[in-house]
Structures are given as C-alpha cells and as structure tokens.
Structure 1
Amino acid sequence: MTTSPLDLPSIALAPKVLLHDHLDGGLRPATVLELAREIGYDELPADDVAAVGAWFREAADSGSLVRYLETFTHTVAVMQTASSLERVARECAEDLADDGVVYAEVRFAPEQHLENGLTLDEVVEAVLRGFEDGAAQAADRGRRIQVRTLVTAMRHAARSREIAELAVRFRHRGVVGFDIAGAEAGYPPSRHLDAFEYMRANNAPFTIHAGEAFGLPSIHEAISFCGTDRLGHGVRVIEDITLPVGADPAAAAFPDARLGDVANYVRDKRIPLELCPSSNVQTGAVASLAEHPFNVLARLRFRVTVNTDNRLMGDTTMSRECKVLVDQFGYGWSDLERFTVNAMKSAFIHFDERLAIIDDVIKPGYAVLIG
C-alpha cells in the first residue's frame, strides 16, 4: 500500500472532528438568498449567489472582530422560523458529512432567533430536528456523522443563566454543552459566573470564547475564575510563551521556549484549544497564517484542535483548514491524525462514545490513508 497524497481530495476523505463551528456562520450562500426572498428581507448587499458568497468573505476579512460579527446580522435575520432553522441545520449536517467530518459540535445562540415569536425551547427543537434529518440524509449517501449542539449565550446580553438552564434541559436530547460568544473587549467571562456555576452544579461541560480579540487576561479569567473545560480559540495564549529572537514559527521543535504561568496551566491541565486558523487571521487575532501560533502550540504539545469557526464568512471547510496547515507548516498524515484525536478526546460526549469513534472510525480511516 502507498501513502495517499496530502491534497484536498485526499484530506476530504480523512475522518475529521469539528468542535468550533457556528450554525449562523455556516449557511450556504444560496440558502441565505432563498430564505431572504421568502421572507421579503431586502437588506442583503448582493442579489445573486456568487456575489452573496463573495460579500460575506470580503466583509469578514476586515481584521476586526467587531466588523466580522456584523456579517451575522444577515444570517440571523433569515433564521427566525422553525422551518428556516431546520433547513440551515439539515444542510449544515449534510455539508460537514460530505467533507468527511464524522463528529461535530455546532453552536448557536437561541436568544437570537426569537423575533418571530419562537420560544427558546422551540428554537432548540427545530435545530435538533434539522441535525437529525441532515445526518440521516448523509447516511443514505454513505456518509456517517454525529452532530451535537452547544447552546451559546451572548456575552453582551443578560440571559446566560437562562441559556445554561436550556443546555441542561436538553442535555439528553442532543445538546452537549454551553458557550458564551460575542465581542470580548468590555465583556469579560466573569460577568457570567452564575451560568458557569449552574453548569458545574449540574455536572455539565462548557467552553468559553476567550483569547481571540482580547488577550491573556481573557484566558486567565476563563480558566481561573470560570473553570472552562475548553478555550474557544485561545490563540493568544502565545502571549505567555517566550521564544528565542528570530525563531521560525514553522520549526519542528522549540526546545528553548519559556512558558508563563497561564500557558503552563493550560498545557498541564490539557485544556483544549479550539483553534480556527483562517478565522483568526480574518478577525485580526493573528497577523497572518505564516505567523499563526498553531505550530508552536502543537510542537509544544498543547492540546490543539483544528476548526472552521464560520464556514460562510471564511469560505472554508475542515478539509481546507487542514490543507492550510499542511501547506504552511509541512504537516503529514500522522499530524492530522493527532489533531483529530485531540479533538475527539476533547468532545463533550461521554468517554465510551469518544473512544469508540477514535478506535472504530478515526484510526482505521487514517490507517488507510497512511498506507
């Protein structure tokens, strides 16, 4: 047997695990346009599929998280009915499965989908139906995927405890965790301590967007005060790591790296980093892909994972994110397998379920590609 080439078609065949993907950031451009026409929403900046897709990508390439988040005004606007939520979730599951994703945790903020009178529970129920239908349709085509949900609270709002209760209420129906998201600056995670305490009291996991637009203090609060199980992005933990002057970010090892207290804690505790390479550049968290700290963190054995964040805004897929890392840092199949296993180990489903996917799906899948 021979090793498969590390090109996009081969990477698309590899089993992949996705932990950080926003439902309202992953719509198909055609779906945005069709749903807008159905409800008479006339605020879209373009009126054909190609132009809509291009606009989202260009608008998200501003280098500002605040500007990046403004693009969601349009996607959220067309996701205000049960049928539209079901459709978006169904297509999300199908698209991920077609890209070789075998397990995904897709997050969304139920509080943003209430404008047409839906309740929080009705919003979640519609999304869960969509994921179930999408996974079933993918299975009919020979593509198997498990999709689970994280419910997100907006950090600038005051409903985080209510959303945490929603997460626990649906914990045995497809919701596996809780998250907070939105602009970081001025909205520290410690403002939502009651929500995190509620999750811990109910033995329920959660992740926190931290260390993206805001730096090390955001990460410190998320882990030390809030007790997060994972870091959404967390890319700026690199600010607590000192490398020799002139060190190459693409090097194979960093023996002289010095870690500060926060970085050591994140690594020692094996706190997963939900890294999103292309998105981190779009939002300005990282200056360029060449300077992305993914490789430094991976070589220093942090628990790094590869993620898409927002597939529409980034015009990306899991396969493309993996290919970006292969091209930038020279990774091989064994590296991609390690990142995938990292992600599966870090998922919010139970241990035996995680182990089954690693042993029965991920390892055999990579064994075929490695040859």
Structure 2
Amino acid sequence: MRTPKPGLPTREQIVHAPKVLLHDHLDGGLRPGTVVDIALATGYDGLPETDPDKLGAWFREAADSGSLERYLETFAHTCAVMQTREALTRVAAECAEDLAADGVVYAEVRYAPEQHLEGGLTLQEVVEAVNDGFREGEHRARAAGNRIRVGALLTAMRHAARSQEIAELANDYRDSGVVGFDIAGAEAGYPPTRHLDAFDYLKRENNHFTIHAGEGFGLPSIWQALQWCGADRLGHGVRIIDDITQGPDGQVTLGRLASYVRDKRVPLEMCPSSNLQTGVAASYAEHPIGLLRRLHFRVTVNTDNRLMSGTSMSAEFAHLVDAFDYTLDDMQWFTVNAMKSAFIPFDERLAMINEVIKPGYAELKAEWLFAPGGALPHLASGSVLEAG
C-alpha cells in the first residue's frame, strides 16, 4: 500500500479526481474474465490460461517479458475473442464502465476495425457494435453514479494497406461516436508517409487524426508525423527527449524539432507504464515525462493497454505522484492539457474543463484543506494551470 507524503494526493483522491484519457486501446483493455467467457462461448481454445486471475497475470508477464513475439501474442488472444457483434459491444461497454469507475470523465478509445472481421462482420458493423457498446457503458456508468463520455478513434495498421478505407470510415461516422483517426503498429520499416493519401483525405475533410510516433523509432518518425503528415497529436512522442540536451550545470537546450513541438503545443500522448515495458525508461523516476512537464510541453497521461500493463489512469498518476511528488495541481495541469487536446468541438472541451474538471479538483482541494491535518502546500493559480 502506497503511503503518501504529506501534501500529496492519496490513492482515494487520485481515483476520485476527474481524469481525461486520450490513448487507450480497446483490444488492450479487456477484463480477463471477459476474455475467458467469450472464448468459452465462441469455442476459441487458444488461451494460455482459463482462470481469469491466472490469465490476467499471464498477460502482464508476457508484456513484461522483453520478447516482442510474446507481447504481440497477447493481442492475438484479445482480438480472437472480439470477432462478433455481441463480443465487441460487451467489451466496449465494459471499457466505458471501468474507465468511469476509475474517475475518467472523458476518454478517446482506439481500435482497428480491420482486425475484427474474421467472424464475418463488415467494417461498418464493427464500428456500430463498438459505438453501441460505448453508449451502453456510458448509461451503466451513469446508473452507478459515474460520469463519462467516450469517443472512438479508428486505427489503421501501419503494415497494412487499408488506411484510406479506414480514414473514410472514420469520416463517415464522425457524427456518430467516432472522433478521429489513428495509425498504429511497428514504426521501424513502416513510416507514416506510407499513408499520406489517408492523411491528405482527412485534412481535406477537416477531420482529426493522431499518429503513433516517437515510441520505438525516434525523431525521424516524429518529424514525418508532423511535417509530412500533419498530425494533430503524437501517440507517445516520448522520443522527443532525444532532441533535448542537459549540460553538466543542469542547463537544458532544446533542438529545433523539440522547440517546434513545444512552441506549437503539440499534444504528447504519454503512457509511462507501457514505456517502461518497451524499454524507454528504466523507472518511472527516469521517464522523460518529468523533464517534459517541467519544460511545459503539452504532456498528457495515458494508459495505452490497461490489461497488458496491469494499469489504470489512477495507477499511472499514482506512479507519477510517487516518482515526482506531483500534487493535485499537477494532476489538474495534465488533465486540462488532455481535455484541451481532445478531438471534440471547442465549446464542448471548454464546458468539460470549466464545469467538470476544475470544479472536481477544487472540491478535492477544499476537502483536503479543511480536513484535520490536511493543509495543502498551496492552491492552484490560474497562470500555472493555463500554461499547458
């Protein structure tokens, strides 16, 4: 059990704080029990474990193994049980429920429709099943006293050749629960420039898209995503740290690409636990998010794959609180950054910030301030919070 330092948020406060999630994979966040249930119902016999607890542990250990083949195998199992309308709707509904129970008030959850066609569904049927699941999950969350809004991001796979088709699909459903487009998959050997037609199409349609870049390949991937493709956000983007140098005297110098990313307020969808699994950093305390936050890049905190990383938004923030002594002010800064960067209309983002996020944090701070022995070191100033 984590023992918080005086003045830092407790686990309960972290859970209750309103949070915004921009980078979460639907096929990476299933409940282990759901994987087992659907496998039994559909006759899928490839699971390494059929006990939910053991299966959950297997997913986490496989993701931590250091073997890319074993890591990718985890998604083979989750996608295998997401091939029917009923399964997709159930998984999406449970995703929304689980996020809402963890204090997430807005989420953008991504998935690749092309990976869910083996049971005979069409691309359109996949999207409609997932959208129905998200709406059902939102309804169940409200019934449980939680509030969440979930938007879908349709993902195309970098190694495949369906990005134009998926981009058009995202545009077709942009008023029906789909808020944007993404590409994912191995960066090395599959640059985003292979999908320029899809990005050009989305730009002509005034649609939003993010690109997985700067996780496994580095600065060229980030540069291409921004300058050739025109990405609105960077999925991970953590390797921007390679364009930042720190001298022996502690002085920090930004290269031209890092300066551009910071100056243009390009949102970075960072996923600390996932990055540790892929070797970006050896510990949370060494993760680049600490320096990038100090330098006021537009950093956001995300989960990536909740099942494989055994994580949640609250767990991610708890790790960062432990590593960097982040306060509720810092949590609010990250959360406002994320809400500013969401792919929904400006007035709706502003309403979420002013009517949900800021009041939620103000209530937590007030409770803490007036609790016995719970004086805060300081209250948030607007100038600090609005610097995201």
TM-score (norm 2): 0.91
- Residue aligned with 2:308, SS: helix
| Alignment equivalent of 2:19, drawn from 16, 19, 24 | 16
Q: What is the alpha-carbon distance in structure 2 between the residues aligned to residue 262 and residue 287 of structure 1?
A: 25
How far residue 26 of structure 1 moved from its aligned partner, in angstroms, is 0.3
Contact 2:26 2:92 in 1 (8 A): yes
Structure 2 partner of 1:97: 100
* Distance 1:64-1:212 versus aligned 2 partners, 3 A rule: farther
Equivalent residue in structure 2 for 1:260, among 247, 255, 262: 255
**Does the 8 Å CA contact 1:20/1:105 hold for their aligned counterparts?**
yes
Q: Deviations over 1:51-106 (max 9, x none)?
A: 10000000001345564333100000000000000000000000000000000000
Q: Residue 289 of structure 2 is aligned with which of 272, 288, 294? A: 294
RMSD: 1.3
Q: Distance in 2 between matches of 1:245 and 1:19?
A: 35
1:43 aligns with 2:52: no
- One of 338, 360, 365 as aligned partner of 1:370: 365
2:328 paired with 1:333: yes
SS of residue matched to 1:196: helix
TM-score w.r.t. structure 1 length? 0.95
Q: Distance in 2 between matches of 1:19 and 1:4?
A: 28
Corresponding residue for 1:251?
Answer: none
Secondary structure of the structure 1 residue equivalent to 2:364: helix
Residues 1:225 and 1:48: Cα distance change in structure 2 (over 3 Å): same
Aligned partners of 1:113 and 1:123 also within 8 Å: yes
CA distance, structure 2, for counterparts of residue 66 and residue 226 of structure 1: 29
Q: Taking structure 1 as reference, are residues 68 and 286 closer, same or farther at Cα in structure 2, changes over 3 Å only?
A: farther
What CA distance in whole angstroms lies between the structure 2 residues aligned with 1:77 and 1:283?
Answer: 24
Greater Cα offset, 147-156 or 56-65: 56-65
- What pairs up with 1:1-371 in 2 under 5 angstroms? 6-63=9-66, 67-245=70-248, 256-371=251-366
Verify the 8 A CA contact 1:108 1:151 in the aligned structure 2. yes
SS of match in other structure, 1:193: helix
Of 60-69 and 260-269, deviating more is 60-69
**Matched residues in 1 for 2:227 and 2:70: separation?**
29
In the TM superposition, residue 6 of structure 1 has moved relative to its aligned partner by 1.1
Contact 2:328 2:365 in 1 (8 A): yes
1:176 CA drift (Å): 0.4
Q: Secondary structure at the match of 1:287?
A: coil
| 1:116-171 alpha-carbon deviations (Å, 9 max, x no partner) | 11000000000000000000011011101000000000000000000000000000
Aligned-residue offset at 1:9: 1.5
Aligned residues: 361
Give the AA of the match of 1:323.
Answer: A
Distance 1:20 1:313 in 2: 14
Identity level (%): 67
2:36 partner SS: helix
2:124–2:169: 8 Å Cα contact kept in structure 1?
yes
Unaligned runs of 5+ in 2: 1-5, 367-388
Q: Following TM superposition, by how much is the alpha carbon of 1:283 offset from its aligned partner in structure 2, in angstroms?
A: 1.6
Q: Give SS of 1:362's match.
A: helix
Which structure has more relative contact order (CA 8 Å, sep 6+)? It is: 1
Q: Per the alignment, do residues 232 and 49 of structure 1 end up closer, same or farther by CA in structure 2, a change over 3 Å counting?
A: same
Report SS of the residue matched to 2:281: coil
2:291 is matched by which residue type in structure 1? Answer: V
Q: Conserved in 1, the CA contact under 8 Å of 2:27 and 2:78?
A: yes
Residues 3-12 or 223-232, more deviating: 3-12
Q: Contact (CA 8 Å) 2:8, 2:325: kept in 1 or not?
A: no
Cα contact 2:7–2:327 (8 A) shared by 1: no
Change (3 A) 1:284 1:64: farther
C-alpha contact 1:155 1:182 (8 A) present in aligned 2: yes
CA offset digits 1:198-243 (Å, max 9, x no partner): 1000000100000001111111110111110000000000000001
Residues 4, 369 of structure 1: 8 Å contact kept:
no
Counterpart AA for 1:23: L
